[in-house]
């Protein structure tokens, strides 16, 4: 039984239709869960935005892995995905607003957007467990630590 589970896990870390569909579903699920939580706090970047960021991160890393594994290209398979890390900063900068009373808002949303992109990259390369635990940590940080911080 344990051997069968290992075979399934190995199969889902390869590039095949089943793993591609799983990666897309996980990106939508994980990004959506994080986005729903942000939407509850009134953030402009809610469920749809986080899904798209996670999906985009996942797909860019999957393209790199696909080029390396399926097409036999040499080089760094995460070179394309690395651009997501810097590029998402531009999107995150748009989330940060200085209010008239010189209060800065949107920093948490910008940080979570960046983390959501990295979760997508993790899913894209098949690092499902890392993506799952990072998503849980994201939700914990945004949902529960906010309450503690306010007290």
pLDDT in tens, 53-97: 899 888 888 888 888 887 888 888 888 888 887 887 777 777 777
Write the Ramachandran bin of 126: left for phi over 0, alpha for psi from -120 to 50, otherwise beta.
Answer: left
pLDDT at 149 over 70: no
CB atoms within 10 A of CB 98: 10
Provide the pLDDT for residue 151: 67
Handedness of CA 71, 72, 76, 77 (dihedral sign): positive
């Amino acid at each position: 039984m344990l051997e069968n589970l290992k075979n399934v896990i190995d199969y889902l870390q390869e590039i095949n239709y089943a793993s591609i569909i799983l990666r897309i579903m996980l990106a939508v699920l994980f990004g959506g869960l994080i986005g729903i939580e942000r939407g509850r706090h009134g953030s402009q970047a809610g469920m749809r935005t986080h899904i798209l960021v996670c999906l985009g991160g996942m797909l860019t890393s999957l393209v790199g892995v696909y080029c390396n594994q399926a097409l036999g290209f040499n080089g760094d398979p995460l070179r394309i995905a690395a651009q997501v890390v810097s590029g998402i900063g531009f999107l995150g900068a748009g989330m940060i607003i200085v209010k008239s009373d010189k209060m800065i808002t949107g920093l948490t949303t910008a940080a979570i957007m960046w983390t959501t992109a990295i979760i997508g990259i993790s899913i894209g390369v098949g690092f499902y467990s890392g993506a799952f635990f990072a998503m849980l940590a994201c939700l914990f940080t945004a949902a529960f630590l906010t309450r503690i911080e306010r007290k």
